[in-house]
Amino acid sequence: MAKKEGDKSKATFLESKEKYRTITENINVGIYRSTAGPEGKYIEVNPAMYEMFGYSSKSEYLMIHPVDIYQLPEDRDKFSHKVLSQGLVRNEILNCKKKDGTPIICSTTAMAVRDHHGQVEYIDGIVEDITDRIKTEQALKEAHIQLENRVRERTSELQTANLELRQSEAKYRSLFENMIEGLFLTRPDGIILAANPALVKMLGYDSETELCKTTNVQDLYINPEYRKVLTHKLEKEGEVRNFELQLRCKSGRKITVLENARIVRDEQGDISHYEGLLTDITEIKKAEADRQKLQSQMQYTQKLKSLEILAGGIAHDFNNLLMAILGNASLASSYLAPEALPYKFIKKVEKSSKDAAELTNQMLAYSGKGKFILKEVNLSGLIDDMRQLLKASISKKVSLKFEFDKLLPPIMADSSQIRQVILNLIINASEAIGEKNGTVQVKAYRLKMNRASFVDDYLDPNLKEGEYICLEVSDSGPGMEANIKNRIFDPFFTTKFSGRGLGLAVVLGIVRGHNGTLKVWSKPGKGSSIRAILPIMEKKTKMKTQEKSNHDEKSRDAKTILVVDDEEAVLDVTSNMLECAGFKVLKAMDGREGVDVFSRHKERIALVLLDTTMPNMDGEEAFRELTRIEPKIKVILSSGYSEQEATSHFIGQGLAGFIQKPYSLNQLIDKLNEVLMVPD
């Protein structure tokens, strides 16, 4: 028994080591280990590390001294000393160079690794090339300096023009009228004395006369307090520079300007008037806001993608673990009489395994890789059928109202998954209202979407333009602050005392899995509204089905099955289940071994049970090789992912069937009978 446990621990260690190696080999930041001290040398580096510095191979890089990558050799000693003295240094900016001498800027995090005597044995580090980012930041700084210089130049021109005004009114008027920025003269009480054509046009007036006679400066300010702040600063300092404020045009349109102004005093030293320059930066501000919004969307999309990959990978691996648990439990129960005491406990293990599998299916749904059975669905009819369930699922103090457009076109969807979307959205809306009286309104209507529609607040800006069906669920609750709104689709996020599940994260995954998107509107005190937007079914859309091949009598009699799976626990339990069912079993630990075994025993193999994700040769490549050797071989694909995700690359290639992990003994036998046409 101890040996088996040791073997299992060793297999787990090797598996963890392999996963760590795979991550290290494929991550896009450099990772290294070097010995400590001035004479330190590299011991281990990943591909990203040596490629970053222009080296062709790991072995070539390990031959260099760490000081060779620094522009200044003393920088390496300083950094090494810092790591050794502090133990951990984060995000240190270092000037480095590539093999060919090209300078690069790196951000480095390093840690001193000590032996059991407390002596520093190694230095482990992570290196990221931030040269482009630094260049971009520098470019932005230079652009900002240029803008400030331009403003200073313009202000200087204005000051020069005012000096020349006393010498030549004609010369001043020419400059005044031809400046592209808005120039003005005003009295301290806000009366406008003069405005150049650029300012008149900027504010939307027909002439200088109209602006000066009908408007006080105070009327132009969106926020009247800004006028007080500006005049106070002028009287205290004599001038203002780059003062940003919003003005109201004649039409009511708001513009953002930068104001540069100064006080002009008379011979007695009293304030004669204010003069200044206004630069319209409305479009610049809008472009900056759009850039920040796009950057935020990109970051959010990257975050979603990372979470989707993580959730899908965890669900797949977890299903493999559950396969061993559920398979062994169902196998054990087949040897026990129902009245036997262990039978009851084993059945509880089976039930718990199936419940855990349901949780992994939710994770697959969040990742957009859930199991969808697509068919024509009438959304309004589906909601009508759920009315009683929906009313029973929400607070008695909440009134549920429905409003549907007539003759809504159908969508191509998985009705059970869409039911979950409807139920989750309505329960979420009810919980947002809380214990107070309130209303949840459910609408379904057609919605025409264009490119601009998808850019504004949508979670997926890459959908096609056209007509969609919108499921809108609104509540009269307290609404959400922006920081809450931005997190509602995070897994297990809740504003309550503790998280209870994937919740709206599953809604997002299901909708994205149906090629749709979501939009959230909410304001504090104004309630919230979530729109699930799903594409209308195309008229010529047809379900893709796989043709089942006819089975001859020879396949009925064949009893040998080849099982190919890289998970040893899955391979063992599946083999035991097949042998329990009366089949002969051949086993292979990966796709390449599976092809080799099949080549040697193809005459007696009736069916191959093939895993999808394996090292050396994955399921797709192995399937091609198997069917090349024997085109009529029956292959059942097995995966921890859903059928849609796992079989997406096998459509039309003659796959005989699919079974999702984890499965029980009875489920496996049913699938084999279905494919081999062997009676129960």
pLDDT of residue 544: 36
Residue 514 per-residue DSSP state: T
pLDDT number for residue 359: 60
CATH 3.30.110.60 fits 553-676, yes or no: no
Q: What percent of the chain has pLDDT over 90?
A: 17
Work out the average pLDDT over 430-459.
78
State the pairing for strand pair 182-186/634-639. Answer: unpaired
User: Does the pLDDT of residue 559 top 90, yes or no?
Assistant: no
How far apart are the C-alpha atoms of 170 and 201, rounded to whole Å?
A: 22
Place of tokens 């959010």: 300
Is the pLDDT at 673 greater than 70? The verdict is: yes
Higher pLDDT pick, 497 / 304: 304
Range ranked top by mean pLDDT from 10-24, 46-60, 636-650: 46-60
Q: What is the pLDDT of residue 12?
A: 62
- C-alpha span between 439 and 313 (Å, rounded): 39
pLDDT at 105: 94
Mean pLDDT check: name the lowest of 108-117, 120-129, 419-428, 457-466: 457-466
Comparing C-alpha atoms, which of 172, 211, 197, 199 is closest to residue 279?
199
Does the CA dihedral 423-425-431-433 come out positive or negative?
negative
Structure confidence by residue, pLDDT tens digits, 507-553 = 877 787 787 888 888 888 888 898 888 888 776 433 333 333 333 33
Separation CA 419–CA 422 (nearest Å): 5
Query: Domain residue spans in the chain?
Result: 30-129, 141-280, 375-535, 553-676
Under the banding of pLDDT at 50, 70 and 90, the label for residue 361 is low
Q: Which residue has the tokens 């922006």?
A: 482
Q: What is the DSSP string of 47-79?
A: HHHHHHTT-S-HHHHHTS-GGGGBSSHHHHHHH
State yes or no: cis peptide before 524, omega within 30 of 0: no
pLDDT at 297: 63
What would you report as the CA-atom Rg of the chain, rounded to the nearest whole angstrom? 35
Mean pLDDT, rounded, for 241-257: 89
| pLDDT digit string, tens, across residues 8-29 | 655 665 565 676 677 778 888 8
Domain spanning 141-280, CATH architecture: 2-Layer Sandwich (3.30)
Residue 391 pLDDT more than 70? yes
- pLDDT at 439 exceeding the cut of 70: yes
The whole-chain average pLDDT of the chain stands at: 80
pLDDT in tens, 285-307: 888 877 777 776 666 666 656 65
Which stretches of 187-317 are assigned E, i.e. beta strand? Answer: 192-195, 239-248, 254-265, 271-280
Class of CATH domain 30-129: alpha beta
pTM of the model: 0.39
Query: Can the peptide bond before residue 342 be classed as cis, meaning omega within 30 degrees of 0?
Result: no
pLDDT of residue 448: 85
**Neighbouring-strand partners of residue 520:** 530
pLDDT > 70: what percent of the chain?
A: 79
Domains 30-129 and 141-280 share a fold: yes
Q: Which residue has the higher pLDDT, 456 or 551?
A: 456
Which of 564, 530, 498 has its CA nearest to residue 421? 530
pLDDT score at 546: 34
- Stretch 646-661: mean pLDDT: 81
Q: What is the pLDDT of residue 179?
A: 73
Query: What would the pLDDT profile of 150-161 be if each residue is shown by its tens digit?
Result: 878 887 776 765
In sequence order, what are the beta bridge partners of 279?
A: 258
Contact by Cβ (8 Å): 89, 109: yes
Minimum mean pLDDT range among 169-178, 430-439, 480-489: 169-178
- Rounded Cα distance, 96 and 93, in Å: 9
* pLDDT single digits (tens) 71-123: 998 888 888 889 888 989 999 999 999 999 999 999 999 999 998 888 888 99
In CATH, the architecture of 375-535 is 2-Layer Sandwich (3.30)
- Tokens standing for residue 632: 């009529």
